[in-house]
Chains A and B, each alone.
Chain A
Amino acid sequence: PPSPAEPPAFDTASRYKDKPWEYLETEEYRATYGDNPVWFGYRRNHKGAVPPQRTRKACLRKGKPVGNPCPICRDRNLFLDFRNVKLLDQFICPHSGVVYHPTYTGVCMKQHKLLTKAVEQARDHGLLWLRVPYVEAPRGDDASARHPAVGVTPPAPQLLRGAPWYPWYEWRQPPTAAVARLRRVYKDYLKEDGAPA
């Protein structure tokens, strides 16, 4: 008897895992979403008129998908990578440059964290627009550029002479009275290993 085929779960690897930006050019994507962003038309299920201010924690609980998964988890070909800028751009406001709140787009909190990380990485690599604050350039050459803190300090004269920095850096003969006192105190524990130096 043929073994019952399991329905494809969320963990089968997608074809676009290594190059997620290719999926956004395909016919499949165009047919599914058209010109709208990925999260357009997604409706969260919640009790009452006001939605909770945080979306669900994750769409995959112990490997099994929940009902009504968020816009990114429901399409297994969408990956939040810092290289597919087109997808990341859909979650950023075109006027203020701010990432939308998850209650607006409907993504789960785990995907939102990954999204913010990916957006920050993309901005670091120069792929996304970044707001550069105006920082005044420092004035040019002033005398503090040649301060001894950043230049060469001549060594102290006593070091040049060859003497140690503190006199106790070198080994000195200990005073005989102190040595004798200690030997008297510990005389029961001293080993018989010859005369002290």
Chain B
Amino acid sequence: MTGLNLQKVFRPVKTELKPPKYKLMTEAQLEEATRKATEEAKEKLRMPPVLDEREPIDDILAEDKFLEGTETTKYVFTDLTYSIPHRERFIVVREPSGVLRKASWEERDRMIQIFFPKEGRRVIPPVIFKDEHLVTVFQQDRHEDILNMCIAQFEPDSPDYIRVHHRTYDDIEKHAKYDLLRSTRHFGGMVWYLVNRKKTDGLLIDMLHRDLLDDATSLITLYHMLYPECQSAKEAKEGKLQGVGLIKVFVKTESQKEGYIQLALQAYQEAMATSTAL
């Protein structure tokens, strides 16, 4: 459903100026190059994981009352063994009151970034992820950029990552800018979010406007897989409907914007009729 638009996936990004390279290829070589490009694009379009919010770490290992008053600052002890994954790393904090506790998730992320820096990630998350600045970014239609920055900066189960993603999806749904994410790896996450909250109407209308019937049917099949008890799912299973029939059943039972979807369906069917007539 994400749609494989090679032109958009490999579009030119502003980098260092280099003169363009021209290659002379036969038909077979061109096909080979397109096939390789499609494989690379499929790899780039793989959906990032969608996880629940992580539980805050709240574990005290020891309480040593006689250390109270000896120090004025907290001490953070990080296990720097190179070959263990970051989730299994022990990071503990000794407070000035003598309590030895495990570091919270934010402290863990900061410490791991200081000792094992990852490209594209900063120790303190940039200001752009605050709500007031996200609005500026959305006005410039840079949803894909901010989602890429979010993947680089945060872990998939951190509350900041989930908050930024939900804000982006809400804004896209509010202004019906679904096409911005169409050929990117974030499209799957957006569809999952919308189907979970039953806000699929705008997306369905957009798909019908662009004549993507297969995508529309896959969206409705996904909805039925998630909510098998709803009426349209039962009717579809009984009647084994396909294509336009499936959409009609869905529109009658589940959607809020029935009128708009009926209009879009009619326009699509007229377009199909005229194109087949031609």
Contact = CB atoms under 8 A, between A and B. Distances in A.
Contacts of A144: 85, 87-88
B66 A169 contact: yes
Interface string A142-160: 0011010111110100010
Interface centre among A96, A130, A132, A147 (most CB of B within 10 A): A132
B87 A132 contact: no
B162 to A, nearest CB: 14
Contacts of B57: 150-151
B85 to A, nearest CB: 5
A187 interface: no
B274 interface: no
A124 B127 contact: yes
Main secondary structure of the interface of A (DSSP, over half): loop
Interface string B53-91: 000010101101010000000000000000001011111
B13 interface: yes
B242 interface: no
Interface string B146-168: 10110110011100000000000
Contacts of B16: 96, 98
Contact of A140 (B51, B88, B140, B149): B51
A147 B17 CA distance: 47
Contacts of A135: 118-121, 148, 151-152
A134 B148 contact: yes
B48 interface: yes
Contact of B185 (A95, A124, A137): A137
Interface in A97-147: 97-98, 124-127, 129-135, 137-141, 144-145, 147
B14 A126 contact: no
A145 B185 CA distance: 23
A137 B127 CA distance: 21
A189 interface: no
A12 B219 CA distance: 64
Given A126-B136, A135-B119, A140 B49 contact: yes
A132 B148 contact: yes
B158 to A, nearest CB: 12
Contacts of B48: 137-138
A153 B102 CA distance: 10
Contact of B140 (A126, A145, A149, A155): A126
A186 interface: no
Given A124-B126, A126-B137, A127-B136, A152 B89 contact: no
Nearest to B152: A135
A125 B133 contact: yes
Given A132-B145, A135-B152, A126 B128 contact: yes
Interface in B88-137: 88-91, 102, 105, 108, 118-121, 126-128, 133-134, 136-137
Given A125-B127, A125-B133, A134 B14 contact: no
B15 interface: yes
A155 B157 CA distance: 27
Given A138-B155, A149-B90, 17 more contacts: A95-B14, A98-B16, A125-B136, A134-B44, A135-B148, A137-B49, A139-B49, A140-B49, A141-B49, A141-B51, A147-B87, A149-B88, A149-B89, A150-B57, A150-B87, A153-B61, A165-B62
Interface of B: 13-17, 44, 46, 48-49, 51, 57, 59, 61-62, 64, 66, 85, 87-91, 102, 105, 108, 118-121, 126-128, 133-134, 136-137, 140, 142, 145-146, 148-149, 151-152, 155-157, 185
The 6 A-B pairs with the shortest beta carbon distances in the complex, nearest first, are: A137-B48, A140-B49, A144-B87, A135-B152, A126-B137, A147-B88
17 contacts: A95-B17, A96-B15, A96-B16, A130-B149, A132-B145, A134-B44, A135-B151, A137-B156, A137-B185, A138-B49, A138-B155, A139-B49, A140-B156, A141-B51, A153-B102, A159-B62, A165-B64
